[in-house]
Structure 1
């Protein structure tokens, strides 16, 4: 009889073993997820000083931390509350299982588990969380096997990076930064206890929702550590009394959405796993400059709306005449409502690094990035490049131009009927003869058109192409900026002047570090266009334009500024493009549907104040900024008609009108 009993048990044992082997064979490949652990990781964007701009992730917000960077106190707290014998068992804890079975039998249901940290990792990564016997058996089998493939340290590293800590935080590093704004090494014992207590019931113990429950759970952790003798009485008492500050942060932390959108567009073809690859992307952006730029744009925007409201009130009282566009159509007095917008881009003159980029007044209202995506007519903002072309051809700042009216006859492609174009100055008045300098300082349309006619439209057209302008009509309308361009591209063109004749391409990414620590650095792209001394002649004229010309509203106390206004037909677009000795900024205002603004809204009045606001505030933060422009060695000065004027070997002054002091005379 005994022989049959042993035989029966042998058969049962072999059957169970066979079934377990079969069960294991069906699930063993699932261990690859644990061994070759490759979780979804959050990509982070930082400004030039290492300040976080934004987190980007897909489904799981997780910042990875290696085991050697996890403080010992975190490991102790976790093991104390979750699996005291972790470093002794081989994946399962028989004693804990026995206790759990007894409680389950008494309750008549699965009321208590006995999962080790290894089993919890398997459950999280491979299996479901349902309380079924078959799942528990699979969990035990895989846990026993994984302990032969990974070290205890590797298991803990995976556990602490994988588990959910509530509030959208995956991994303990993410939770530490999210709840406490601290790195792991900065946490005190109570904060550690809160974190390691969360995985048991992350939503219930979430300290942003249920702080008292989170503290109670943390106190259990601290008491357990004290019982085990892993902390002394002083540490225990101090931790039990302490209540930390808990932050209820959004997960993305996006402080500059227009910038992040642009960066993602730039990297869309380069990094396919940007939302899950755990990259650290360091940008050229200065968060302080970005905030000031937003404020400056809003400041000017509110001024425009205030003026509009004022004129609307006058209009209601019939104290002003109705407004009409150039075709004679009456303009809607309420045309600013939900249509007016603006943009600003600021870069370093020498490098092209983007310091600030604001694509609109309010990202929540409109995510359309007007710096990058919008194409608008530059108007008179194109003029400095026409004058640069003239100076490079041998004209000088003192060359006399004719500021007189002309009528141009032309035919359109779809009609043989002759048409006439009679351009005007903004003021409607003419100056007769005036110097090239004065023509640009006061943005004289007629003098500029006559200059282009004198040079030749084909020569000017080719020069503008050399400066990077595209898709222009081959006619005199380019003199008044009749083609379209984005603020980003216009900023690149203006760098020719601000950077002493060398164009720099604006860029926004300093470096990218992947999860393996490989670094990719980005550098400035530069292109020689003209000499420093020739660029200086235009720079100095634009300095005059701000000092006493159309750009007066962009003046900044104790800082030299050069710049040009731009206003298009019917006041559809208003620009100010300017720079200090180190920083260049382009501001645009207009209506998104290309309808006119009020005739009082010009580049100087509309965009100039945003420019000035930005520099005034940024200068307070950075008083060390260079204040004055340098004059290149190839530039000479002289006195012409009682006024100081600059000239070069290419742009000579009219010598019959020059009174050159002996010490300044040079030989050509």
Structure 2
């Protein structure tokens, strides 16, 4: 008896020593649970808090604090998985005893007895293989963990860590994914379905096996009823209810061009953007984004319709070839194969981007033409040339020559002399016209003569001051012969739309990290010219929409200012304009820089998208500011029977009648 007792004593000591040794080798692994830092999904929201997209790597998980988990969720989970969770110290001896008996009878490990604490450890630290050594480790770590974390902390980690099927990690993610609801919005049946999923997430996935998912949920509800945690009415209603199930894409990307741009913008600042659980709040308005995309498509379909019309017309007339302005033969196929477009809208006074559509179809091309494409602006550059003239003393009434000139120039170091004879669209000349009319009707020759009078050096340096880069030092800049992205052109146009102060377009309002702290972004501004001088150009552009090249852009009940832009051979078609609060740049062209049809000018191709946007956005936001305001420093006179504006810098000719301030008409 003494030897037997000694043997068992030695055996017990050996077992204890082995357990201590085993624990000493694994105890540091508890740090993964105690200092829980899971992969978290970064979520991008629009300015009104609507989800734009989820960004994640491997695990799509949105974290939820314990205090934000409804009590009913905790009750349902504990009822089906670990009824004595709040009483035990990490393991459940009764459940272990029952499991051992069943395992002995079966001759294998057929049933576990894991508490929620053990399940959490198994998920985060250990494997799921059914081996005795793994089970012993699990027990040791569970006993220790319960001395470190509270029950609530364990449940918080469990409900955020476990897999709920369909790519959803954590119960908040699953609730939004399966039911399109927040946790607090779930009913009892939906809660029961969720807490039943971790047992076999793929098998019980309601998007694949709704019948089995409902059956599992009913088990949860019956268990809660047996425990007396729900009453008869709740039980009966839950048993009969069948929730609506959603089968969404995990990213839920509603604006792919915008999401790509955000990723590109933050690639250096946030290396862990897909695992760090950031909340990125954008300046974007998803309603504006939707309308912008629709508008771009409306304009695109009109381009295709015109293309088909001319194809049919050519066929009817027996014409099998077309030529550009230089007489080069054109292929009809390219008219529709490469045509694409872009659209960007932003707030005039802040630079906050409301909408950005980088192309007609993201699935066919993810190239963002707003940001990445650099195209010639054509006549869209003219407002800045006229602004330069106004800022040095010209007035809207100043007469300039709309006549033809021939310019001779040499190419490089060559002795060969070439001639350049620019012409107006339509080929006609007006003689002497006012600066106002020259811009309203986009007269090329008048603009070139204006630049000649001012001096190419003055215009070149002024355009550089406005932010334009990589321009040729010759008269071709008058017709926008350099390249610029729609995004950069938006920044330049803010000088006019924002009363002389340039604002830099930006798309991120704030970034909040997983700890709830973050940074906010503010507008970046730069003074360029006075609001009085900017108003003169704005007013001329306003009249351009009323009676000039931009008249197709008119929207009832809303002041709009704008400028068309069409480059040689109709390679690019632009419309750049703004209301009192929102500025928009639209571009169309072939991606390979080949000409479009001669019908596709800025006033024909681009304006429909612009007009569609303002008409429909105004319906959603009737509170938008409707009218432009004239600054105090702008005065009104009459010249040749017409009202005209002037300032202390841009004075009118002497044969004008100054209108008293009280009689001046505001628009």
Normalized against structure 2, the TM-score is what? 0.98
C-alpha separation in 2, matches of 1:182 and 1:658:
67
Find the counterpart in structure 2 of residue 270 from structure 1: 269
**1:59 aligns to 2:51 (yes or no):** no
C-alpha displacement at 1:326, in angstroms?
Answer: 3.9
**CA displacement, residues 370-414 of structure 1 (integer Å, 9 cap, x when unaligned):** 000110000000000000000000000111111111111111114
Structure 2 matches for 1:276-355, cutoff 5 A? 276-320=275-319, 322-355=321-354
C-alpha displacement at 1:325, in angstroms?
Answer: 2.6
Find the counterpart in structure 2 of residue 394 from structure 1: 393
Find the counterpart in structure 2 of residue 162 from structure 1: 161
C-alpha displacement at 1:169, in angstroms?
Answer: 0.7
C-alpha separation in 1, matches of 2:659 and 2:518:
57
Q: How many positions carry a matched residue from both structures?
A: 664
Structure 2 matches for 1:36-75, cutoff 5 A? 36-75=35-74
C-alpha separation in 1, matches of 2:22 and 2:660:
102
Unaligned runs of 5+ in 2: none
Q: Find the partner of 1:660 among 658, 661, 666.
A: 658
C-alpha separation in 2, matches of 1:185 and 1:608:
46
Partner of 1:173: helix, strand, or coil?
Answer: helix
Q: In 1, are the aligned partners of 2:636 and 2:659 still within 8 Å (CA)?
A: no
Find the counterpart in structure 2 of residue 26 from structure 1: 25
**CA displacement, residues 162-206 of structure 1 (integer Å, 9 cap, x when unaligned):** 000111110011111111121111111111111111100111111
Structure 2 matches for 1:116-265, cutoff 5 A? 116-265=115-264
C-alpha displacement at 1:555, in angstroms?
Answer: 1.2
Partner of 2:637: helix, strand, or coil?
Answer: strand
Find the counterpart in structure 2 of residue 431 from structure 1: 430
C-alpha displacement at 1:320, in angstroms?
Answer: 4.9
Find the counterpart in structure 1 of residue 574 from structure 2: 575
C-alpha separation in 2, matches of 1:522 and 1:246:
38
C-alpha displacement at 1:519, in angstroms?
Answer: 2.9
Find the counterpart in structure 1 of residue 404 from structure 2: 405
Q: In 1, are the aligned partners of 2:41 and 2:55 still within 8 Å (CA)?
A: yes
C-alpha displacement at 1:619, in angstroms?
Answer: 0.8
Find the counterpart in structure 2 of residue 593 from structure 1: 592
Find the counterpart in structure 2 of residue 512 from structure 1: 511
Classify 1:356/1:663 alpha carbon distance in 2 versus 1 (closer, same or farther; 3 Å). Answer: closer
Find the counterpart in structure 2 of residue 375 from structure 1: 374
Classify 1:661/1:636 alpha carbon distance in 2 versus 1 (closer, same or farther; 3 Å). Answer: closer
Partner of 2:337: helix, strand, or coil?
Answer: coil
Partner of 1:415: helix, strand, or coil?
Answer: coil
**CA displacement, residues 4-29 of structure 1 (integer Å, 9 cap, x when unaligned):** 11111122222222222222222222
Partner of 1:433: helix, strand, or coil?
Answer: strand
**1:499 aligns to 2:503 (yes or no):** no
Unaligned runs of 5+ in 1: none
C-alpha displacement at 1:260, in angstroms?
Answer: 0.8
Partner of 1:337: helix, strand, or coil?
Answer: helix
**1:557 aligns to 2:561 (yes or no):** no
**CA displacement, residues 29-65 of structure 1 (integer Å, 9 cap, x when unaligned):** 2111111100000111111111111111111010111
C-alpha separation in 2, matches of 1:320 and 1:396:
48
C-alpha separation in 1, matches of 2:377 and 2:247:
45
Q: In 1, are the aligned partners of 2:339 and 2:588 still within 8 Å (CA)?
A: yes
Q: In 2, are the aligned partners of 1:637 and 1:664 still within 8 Å (CA)?
A: no
C-alpha displacement at 1:336, in angstroms?
Answer: 2.5
Q: In 1, are the aligned partners of 2:162 and 2:198 still within 8 Å (CA)?
A: yes
C-alpha displacement at 1:658, in angstroms?
Answer: 1.7
Task: Note the aligned Cα RMSD (angstroms).
Answer: 1.3
C-alpha displacement at 1:94, in angstroms?
Answer: 1.3
Find the counterpart in structure 2 of residue 541 from structure 1: 540
C-alpha displacement at 1:315, in angstroms?
Answer: 2.1
C-alpha displacement at 1:126, in angstroms?
Answer: 0.4
C-alpha displacement at 1:661, in angstroms?
Answer: 4.5
C-alpha displacement at 1:239, in angstroms?
Answer: 1.3
Find the counterpart in structure 2 of residue 490 from structure 1: 489
**CA displacement, residues 538-582 of structure 1 (integer Å, 9 cap, x when unaligned):** 011111111111111111111111000000011100000000111
Partner of 1:574: helix, strand, or coil?
Answer: strand
Q: In 2, are the aligned partners of 1:636 and 1:664 still within 8 Å (CA)?
A: no
C-alpha displacement at 1:664, in angstroms?
Answer: 7.9
